[in-house]
Amino acid sequence: AQTVTQSQPEMSVQEAETVTLSCTYDTSENNYYLFWYKQPPSRQMILVIRQEAYKQQNATENRFSVNFQKAAKSFSLKISDSQLGDTAMYFCAFMLNNNDMRFGAGTRLTVKP
């Protein structure tokens, strides 16, 4: 069974600074997908970024980027120029093709003014 581990239950960062959230996963498969989801206090799950395992290039979406290390089974999220609106729970998720998605326990990020 696939597992996803987020080792940082809580983190904080000053506004405009950079923060990195960690995620590791365990699988014996070669083809899979990785995601970061954001959950603000509204409870809505919002996709931040996705990465296909067959792609060597790290995904980037504006201020959000990932460091995907396939051999190490690591998938960290970097948030640059942090904004107050980035305050949320962040979940790392793993999915095999045509299969269910497994989530980590989440990291609560607080951006301080």
- Taking CB under 8 A as the rule, does residue 35 contact other proteins? yes
**What number of other Cβ atoms are within 10 A of residue 24's Cβ?**
17
CB 36 within 8 A of CB 60: no
Nearer to other proteins, 5 or 18 (CB): 5
9 belongs to the binding site for other proteins (CB under 8 A): yes
Q: Which of residues 1 and 71 has its CB atom nearest to other proteins in the complex?
A: 1
Find out whether 107 and 8 touch, Cβ atoms under 8 Å.
yes
CB 29 within 8 A of CB 90: no
Binding site for other proteins (CB under 8 A): 4, 6, 9, 33, 35, 42-45, 47, 50, 52, 91, 93, 95, 97-98, 100-106
